[in-house]
Amino acid sequence: MIDDLFHQLRGASVFSKIDLRSGYHQLRVKEVDIHKTAFRTRYGHYEFLVMPFGLTNAPVAFMNMMNRVFQPFLDRFIGVFIDDILVYSEMEAKHDEHLRTMLQVLREKELYAKYSKCEFWLREVTFLGHVVSAEGIKVDPRKIEAILEWKLPRSVSEIRSFLGLVGYYRRFMEGLGCVLMQEGKVVAYASRQLKPHEGNYPTHDLELAAVIFALKIWRHYLYGERCKANVVADALSRRAVSDLRAMFARLSLYDDGSLLAELQVRPTWVDQIKEKQLNDESLVARFQQVKEGGTSEFGLNNEGVLCFRGRICVPKDSELRQSILKEAHGGLCAMHPGGNKLYHDLRELYWWLGLKREVTKFVGKCLTCQQVKAEHQLPSGLLRPVKIPLWKWERVTMDFVSGLPLTASKKDSIWVIVDRLTKSAHFIPVRTDFSLQKLAKLYVAEIVRLHGVPVSIISDRDPRFTSRFWQKLHEALGTRLNFSTAFHPQTDGQSERVIQILEDMLRGCVIDFRGSWEGYLPLAEFVYNNSYQVSIRMAPYEALYGRRCRTPSCWTELGERQVLGPELIADTEEKVRIIRDRLKEASDRQKSYADLKRKEIEYSVGDMVFLKVSLWKMILRFGKKGKLSPQFIGPYRVLKRVGPVDYQLELPPELDRIHDVFHVSMLRRYHSDPTHVVSVAEIEVQTNLTFEEEPVQILDREVKVLRRKSVPLVKVLWRNHGREEATWEPEEAIQQQYPHLFGPGLSTLVGL
């Protein structure tokens, strides 16, 4: 905006500058919005009747008012920026008239200027950090005074110090910089920071992006102009040589009897294009123009093929164009590039109307790309916060921490149960193979005994939670079980976060105090419940019992207070109301932040979608070829929309063990094409939506000798893969995971 304002000063020689008195305070606040400006001090409660400084939208609102006030005169002889008004004229006679007009507008609109800050009839004026005069615009000397008065460097170290001063911030800001010059003189500068995706651009593309950026912002200067000088290297001065084409060899026989092979580059389907060009009426007309010399853009190459600006003209033949796109995208020398890359590769060689549109459509419908390409866009699905509970321990979440070191009492897991309102939690040591009856007894003894029966429980789809016994137990207790969406742990983000905190505390205890984690678990529960929680702005103990518990470090901070009868009830209800308000505020803030980096996407019943899968890290082979397995399987039909961001899919019988409702972030839209042949995926998908490639046979065995030890290896044949894809794996690891492969028959397989 400031640049646009300065551009309007061309030809001006007389200036006047007016500064409004307490500009923001001259704009009244609507009566219905006055309470929004309230603030409280030790002297009392106050509200602004006029617009105060510091409001987010204050500059925008005031600037909008100034633009409306001076709308008829903007860019003619008045420039406005917030509360600074600049009146400019080409001649003194006109300036008197312009000043009168401006002052009359201020009087009519009841806007007041501060006379001590106003300047009139100037030949040179300081405005917005620049000095403006009839000779042009220059930097305000006061802004660069420290640089100008810098002592002349007299040593290498002083030069380095000066360069460090003037270039200090360069390493923090990666961006584009442009200079517009005319006859050696700078006309304008422009720069901006790189956008997130531009950080991945190669140097050549960044240079081209800078050229495009300059052409856009200086279009009014450059449009229609012929520029001859390009003294600074850029992307346009280093155009790449055309891509390598198919080759054929020609033998030449010379007088001395020697044979020389001459290699030439030639597209493999040039003959097809040349033949079909003669069947395209629009290209036949171009042929005629070329023969008559009536066009400079079209011409014939050495092989008689019609070209447009050096690029081969492809006729209107859908089969031929599809063949070119298929080879350029899915051939061995292409490897499925993206639409933008493919377009730029092809436009160097071929030309036809709608090339970019056809390339984009072709790549978007490529079945292989839809199955294997990673997603580089914003995650799908806006955040949907869960309902805030009405009372303490009314709605809880639960999860297990598994894989811990086995303790003396044979415990290797922790059952984490958290109240969603007060954030208080219980950490119960358990063993992975505990029966459901034993877990039920623990639940009644540790949770129901202290807090009663919850209304609802949110948990993941652990088999222990989805079992018939667990569901019947809570049906009898009157508790509704809410399971998180399949393969979307963010549904129960509270339990996941508490587990992270718990693991950090236990690690610290084991490092600092030694011993088993089970011994520190009660203290970890106490510390967690007595620690400040950001979302409720108090400790869980305080939210649950009315005040925090004493600890050795804060023994005297807690005073003695007795609250009895109705006062206790009112105090408790008020605290619950405050907690719910704070949770709502935290939830809204979290949603607003999360949705900034998400996109909303919807599917309709009957749409075909791909389903995202992942690798099972426990399979050794995935350290090698497993990463090349498809990221999406399907497509599958959408049967029903379940909630705002969940969908039910029609899964095949092979996936009947998997829950058929998925979060929208697990799905990718299928773009159909009549040429697609979707084969049944030769993978075994696990219930956790990962897939496993199973070894079926040991083909060979060898010992790899290292410097100080020998490592026995076995050659493993994997299911649904040929012998040429067999891999060498450590024998010890394979034997531990798949002992059935190491039977008596192993010796007969060695050497095959």
pLDDT tens for 640-662 read 887 777 788 888 776 766 777 77
Instruction: Give the phi and the psi of residue 426 in degrees, each rounded to 5.
Output: -125, 135
Rounded Cα distance between 650 and 652, Å, is 7
What is the share, in percent, of the chain residues with pLDDT greater than 70? 71
610 has pLDDT over 70: yes
636 has pLDDT over 80: yes
Lowest mean pLDDT, pick from 86-90, 434-438, 500-504, 589-593: 589-593
Q: What is the mean pLDDT of residues 588-592?
A: 67
Give the pLDDT confidence score for residue 124 in this predicted structure.
86
Give the pLDDT confidence score for residue 239 in this predicted structure.
46
491 has pLDDT over 60: no
Rounded Cα distance between 617 and 402, Å, is 17
169 has pLDDT over 70: no
Find which of 188-192, 484-488, 557-561 is predicted with most confidence, using mean pLDDT. 188-192
DSSP assignment string, 486-540: BT-GGGGHHHHHHHHHHHHHHHHHHHHH-S-HHHHHHHHHHHHHTS-BTTTTB-H
Lowest mean pLDDT, pick from 483-497, 613-627, 681-695, 708-722: 613-627
Cβ burial 421-438 (10 Å sphere, 16+ → b, else e): bbbbbbbbbbeeeeeeee
The neighbour count for residue 396, using CB atoms within 10 Å, is 25
Q: What is the CA radius of gyration of the chain?
A: 37
pLDDT digits over 449-462, tens only? 888 888 887 777 66
Q: What is the mean pLDDT of residues 616-623?
A: 37
Q: What is the mean pLDDT of residues 733-748?
A: 68
101 has pLDDT over 80: yes
Half-sphere exposure (Cβ direction) of 204: Cα atoms closer than 13 Å: 5
344 has pLDDT over 60: yes
Give the pLDDT confidence score for residue 492 in this predicted structure.
52
Give the pLDDT confidence score for residue 384 in this predicted structure.
61
Give the pLDDT confidence score for residue 376 in this predicted structure.
61
The structure tokens listed for 477 are: 């207790």
Q: Which of 439, 431, 434, 438 is nearest to 459 (CA)?
A: 439
Rounded Cα distance between 67 and 4, Å, is 14
Higher pLDDT, 326 or 619: 326
What is the share, in percent, of the chain residues with pLDDT greater than 90? 0
Give the pLDDT confidence score for residue 486 in this predicted structure.
47
pLDDT digits over 192-233, tens only? 888 888 877 777 788 888 888 888 888 878 887 777 666 555
Lowest mean pLDDT, pick from 27-31, 281-285, 563-567, 604-608: 563-567
> Residue 586 — very low, low, confident or very high, per pLDDT cuts 50/70/90?
low
**Confidence (pTM):** 0.40
> Residue 300 — very low, low, confident or very high, per pLDDT cuts 50/70/90?
confident
245 has pLDDT over 60: no
Residues β-bridged to residue 50: 28
The structure tokens listed for 237 are: 């001065």
635 has pLDDT over 50: yes
721 has pLDDT over 70: no
Give the pLDDT confidence score for residue 279 in this predicted structure.
84
Residue 113 DSSP symbol? B
Give the pLDDT confidence score for residue 284 in this predicted structure.
84
Cα angle value 248/254/256 (rounded, 5°): 140
Q: What is the mean pLDDT of residues 141-161?
A: 77
**714 contact partners, CB below 8 Å, separation of at least 6:** 698, 700, 701, 728, 729, 731, 734
Give the pLDDT confidence score for residue 339 in this predicted structure.
82
Q: What is the mean pLDDT of residues 489-512?
A: 69
Give the pLDDT confidence score for residue 20 in this predicted structure.
87
395 has pLDDT over 80: yes
pLDDT digits over 520-540, tens only? 788 888 888 887 777 777 888
Give the pLDDT confidence score for residue 595 in this predicted structure.
59
Give the pLDDT confidence score for residue 623 in this predicted structure.
37
Lowest mean pLDDT, pick from 93-107, 181-195, 610-624: 610-624
Give the pLDDT confidence score for residue 385 in this predicted structure.
63
Give the pLDDT confidence score for residue 752 in this predicted structure.
36
Give the pLDDT confidence score for residue 568 in this predicted structure.
59
The amino acid occupying position 119 is: E
> Residue 161 — very low, low, confident or very high, per pLDDT cuts 50/70/90?
confident
628 has pLDDT over 70: no
Q: What is the mean pLDDT of residues 108-124?
A: 87
Q: What is the mean pLDDT of residues 177-195?
A: 80
Find which of 227-231, 474-478, 685-689 is predicted with most confidence, using mean pLDDT. 474-478
Q: Which residue has the tokens 């531990």?
A: 736
All structural domains of the chain: 2-144 (3.30.70.270), 175-236 (no CATH), 247-353 (no CATH), 395-582 (3.30.420.10), 608-691 (no CATH), 695-749 (2.40.50)
252 has pLDDT over 70: no
Cα angle value 318/323/328 (rounded, 5°): 125
**48 contact partners, CB below 8 Å, separation of at least 6:** 29, 34, 37
